[in-house]
Amino acid sequence: MPQIFHPSMNTISRVSIFGAVFFVMAAVGVGAAIVRSPYATEVGVVRVQPVPFSHQHHVGDVGIDCRYCHRSVETEAFAGLPSTDVCMDCHSVLWADSPMLEPVRESYRTGEPLAWNRVHDLPDYAYFNHAIHVRQGVACETCHGRVDEMPLMYREETLHMQWCLECHRNPEVFLRPSEDVFAFDWEPDESTPTGEELAALHGIESKTDCSTCHR
Amino acid sequence: MTDTHVQSDPSTEPRQTVRSVSQQISAIVLTEGPPRGWWAGFLVSFLLVMLLLVSVGWLFAKGVGIWGINQPVGWGFAIVNFVWWIGIGHAGTLISAILLLFRQEWRTSINRFAEAMTLFAVACAGLFPLLHMGRPQFFFWFIPYPSTTGMWPQFRSPLIWDFFAVGTYATVSLMFWYVGLIPDLATLRDRSRTGRGRIIYGFLAMGWRGSARHWKRYQSAYLLLAGLATPLVISVHTIVSYDFAISILPGWHATVFPPYFVAGAIYSGFAMVLTLSIPLRAVYRLQNFVTDRHLDNMAKVMLASGLVVAYGYLMEHFLAWYGGHQLEEFMLLNRMFGPYAWSYWALIGCNILIPQLLWFKSVRARPLPLFFIAIVINIGMWLERYVIVVTSLHRDFLPSSWGMYEPTFWDWSTYLGTIGLFAALLFLFIRLLPMISIFEMRELVHEHEHSGGASAEAGTS
């Protein structure tokens, strides 16, 4: 009987059988890397805005408190975006002729709000409430990063569920005293109560029921 | 002991030789065109596969609302069919693994297509939980992989155990089947007269040359796989029964479930093997391989496992009475005399009463009544799952939440579609691969020649 396959088939089949294992592992690895990459998570990716608003300047240099613009952060689920009036509190006087601020003045004249592009957008099936987190001592900085050092706004964290769960499983690691929630570059000192003490004070427990966030 | 048994009641025809075995079985695949019945059967099953595709497509477009499931009956046909198909698969593993380890040589001529039947039944079964999911695109959430949710599947849920049980079962069954095929694929390669056949079968035979070293390794690999498959016969349907038994619903929450599910699986599996082998051996004239002795043995296994199933039914009633649990008692009365009483009594008739005919040797010896009984048992085992799923769910603890379950057209079309898929795969298997293990039959013939020769000498002296 003639030979059906060339002898090189031996090598080819061995390589392809063992190679298949590595190929599958590599495919899984690439998939895992993609979902964690900035391409998918937008971590560190600046979003284009109608006005190049600099948190670094307003928070870091000028020292405006977060709550001056994000007014409902302590009372409502949504932290709130400032209306154009809030911008004009200062910019009717400061840099009143700057061409960069023309969209703001335009918005003020017409009453048409500025259409900011949302940077931190959770999926609709996840319920998140700013007020409860801020009141229990989770700092702005913990989730949003050093906003006072961001010339243009970007995501500091992935917003993946496992990132939420890091804190929800061990909340005491991430707590601050209430008065330090809005501070940046904050470090605890000797007089600062520990996370366990703060958790006990506010009655904070690890909350990992599905219905805590998926309501 | 085995020798006398073989002679009095052969599992092969005495006239067979090593050459005739290879010739007859491989000819079905290699030389003969498929008989007219094959084309007719394949056409019908192919059309049913198309029906399945339409049903699944419509399901994906509209969601599970097209089925009859509702509150309180959230598990309808999908789960009934899943358990039915998984159960059918069990005979293949039992025949190929356990009977191999017990050295029941009569298994040789039926193990190959029983294993194929297992694979195809598991494929059909596996469809249903996926379709029932509602969002089947997320089926991979069953797999414990390092996801960005920071969560594992719920390992306390029997549904996850089920995923692993069925996954393992499918993998081991596939390996077992394929490893068993390798020497026969080499035979087909060597006997094939077309270049294409040589290349395809040669590729699949993985360079099998039949050297002594090949055989030695082959034997240990096959035995190891048989050892792996053996616990699966018990474990898979045990875990399927946990899907029910772990819950607290009367009618599901019963410790008798695992053994009685396993017995039911073997029962339905052997019924399906008979349903397939009786027409097959008639159409392909394989009576010299699948002999009357095989049918007789399978009927006996069926009778025995059927009695265990009957015991399970009896125990459900006994425990409801002995336990004095009001809800359990109500559930059984509702089964017997409630709105689904027809299904319960049909089940008793199909699974307990009619199969008692198998006590008679005259029934076991005739293919036609045997075929009829096998069909009846297939129906009965499907009804059993229907009764368990629907009658337990539709009237649970609170009368205010009672309801009725009515399967829709799409329930039926999906079910019939999987029957078509199963049949289509079997038809292709029969056409493309040897449905009886050639090399094991050769071995059997060889052994018989030797033992036959010895007794002939003893007779003359």
Cβ contact A4–B202 (<8 Å): yes
Mean pLDDT for B105-129 is: 88
Q: How far is C-alpha B258 from the geometric centre of its chain's CA atoms? A: 17
Is A151 or B36 the better-scoring residue by pLDDT? A151
If we measure between CA atoms, which residue out of B221, B124, B120, B186 comes closest to residue B438?
B186
Domain boundaries, chain A: 55-63+70-81+117-213, 82-115
At B301 the three-state DSSP class reads helix
ipTM over 0.90: no
CA-CA distance, B434 to B181, in Å (whole number)? Answer: 8
Is A159 or B100 the better-scoring residue by pLDDT? A159
The maximal CA–CA distance of chain B, rounded, in angstroms, is 84
H helix runs in B324-364, sequence order: 326-337, 341-348, 361-364
* CB contact B150 to A (< 8 Å): yes
CA-CA distance, B315 to B337, in Å (whole number)? Answer: 18
> Is residue B424 scored above 70 in pLDDT?
yes
Is A26 or B460 the better-scoring residue by pLDDT? A26
CA-CA distance, B247 to B267, in Å (whole number)? Answer: 25
Q: DSSP state, B357? A: G
Q: Which residues contact A197 (CB under 8 A, 6 or more apart)?
A: none
Q: What is the pLDDT of residue B435?
A: 86
Q: Which residues contact A72 (CB under 8 A, 6 or more apart)?
A: A78, A79, A80, A130, A131
| pLDDT band, residue B11 (cuts 50/70/90) | low
Q: How many residues does chain B have?
A: 461
B280's tokens: 């097959």
Residue B216 lies in a domain: yes
Cβ contact A162–B198 (<8 Å): no
Q: What is the pLDDT of residue B1?
A: 36
* A142-156, B223-237, B339-353: least confident range: B223-237
Amino acid at B113: F
Mean pLDDT for B99-116 is: 82
In Å, what is the CA distance from B289 to each residue of B280, B294, B454?
11, 9, 23
In Å, what is the CA distance from A37 to each residue of A15, A45, A145, A154, A167?
31, 11, 18, 14, 21
If we measure between CA atoms, which residue out of B28, B79, B42 comes closest to residue B427?
B42
User: Cβ contacts (< 8 Å) between A158 and chain B: which residues?
Assistant: 148
Cβ contact B146–A35 (<8 Å): no
Q: What is the pLDDT of residue B150?
A: 87
CB of B338 within 8 A of CB of B395?
A: yes
| pLDDT band, residue B451 (cuts 50/70/90) | low
* Chain A stretch 131-190, residues whose beta carbon is closer than 8 A to a beta carbon of chain B: 158, 160-166
- For residue A161, the chain B residue with the least C-alpha distance is B149
Cβ contact B150–A162 (<8 Å): yes
* A87-96, B103-112, B239-248: least confident range: B103-112
Cβ contact A32–B207 (<8 Å): no
Q: Which residue has the tokens 């494929």?
A: B123
In Å, what is the CA distance from B150 to each residue of A30, A130, A162, B145, B352?
18, 22, 4, 10, 50
> Best-predicted range by mean pLDDT among B270-279, B406-415, B448-457?
B406-415
* Chain A stretch 2-41, residues whose beta carbon is closer than 8 A to a beta carbon of chain B: 4-5, 9-10, 13, 28, 32, 35-36
CB of B397 within 8 A of CB of B327?
A: yes
| pLDDT band, residue B385 (cuts 50/70/90) | very high
* CB contact A120 to B (< 8 Å): no
CA-CA distance, A3 to B232, in Å (whole number)? Answer: 41
Amino acid at B282: A
CA-CA distance, B10 to B29, in Å (whole number)? Answer: 26
> Is residue A68 scored above 90 in pLDDT?
yes
Q: What is the pLDDT of residue B454?
A: 43
> Is residue B455 scored above 50 in pLDDT?
no
Which H or E element spans position B18? helix B18-30
If we measure between CA atoms, which residue out of B232, B229, B237 comes closest to residue B83?
B237
At A155 the three-state DSSP class reads strand
> Is residue B84 scored above 50 in pLDDT?
yes
Q: What is the pLDDT of residue B458?
A: 37
For testing contact with chain B, the best of A4, A5, A167 (most B CBs within 10 A): A4
DSSP for B189-211, written as a single string: HHH--SHHHHHHHHHHTTT----
User: Cβ-count burial of A210 within 10 angstroms (0-12 exposed, 13-18 middle, 19+ buried)?
Assistant: exposed
Residue B153 lies in a domain: no
Mean pLDDT for B329-356 is: 93
Is B288 or B432 the better-scoring residue by pLDDT? B432
How do residues B244-281 score in pLDDT, each as one tens digit? 999 989 889 888 999 989 999 999 999 999 998 898 88
Q: What is the pLDDT of residue B10?
A: 52
Residue B243 lies in a domain: yes
Q: What is the pLDDT of residue B104?
A: 78
A52's tokens: 């190049």
Give the other-Cβ count within 10 Å of B210's Cβ. 13
Mean pLDDT for B204-226 is: 90
Q: How many residues does chain A have?
A: 215
Residue B263 lies in a domain: yes
Number of domains in chain B: 1
CA-CA distance, A210 to A205, in Å (whole number)? Answer: 15
| pLDDT band, residue B452 (cuts 50/70/90) | low
User: Cβ contacts (< 8 Å) between B198 and chain A: which residues?
Assistant: 4
Mean pLDDT for A19-30 is: 92
Share of chain B above pLDDT 70, in %: 94
Q: What is the pLDDT of residue B21?
A: 80
CA-CA distance, B31 to B193, in Å (whole number)? Answer: 9
> Is residue B4 scored above 50 in pLDDT?
no
Amino acid at B435: M
Give the other-Cβ count within 10 Å of A191's Cβ. 6
Q: What is the pLDDT of residue B12?
A: 58
> Is residue B381 scored above 60 in pLDDT?
yes
Q: How far is C-alpha B312 from the geometric centre of its chain's CA atoms? A: 20
Of A4, A32, A165, which is closest to B199 when you measure between CB atoms? A4
CA-CA distance, B452 to A113, in Å (whole number)? Answer: 99
Q: Which domain holds residue B371?
A: 9-144+166-451
Give the closest-approach CA distance of A62 to chain B in angstroms. 38
CB of B96 within 8 A of CB of B176?
A: yes
If we measure between CA atoms, which residue out of B24, B42, B20 comes closest to residue B32?
B24
> Is residue B32 scored above 80 in pLDDT?
no
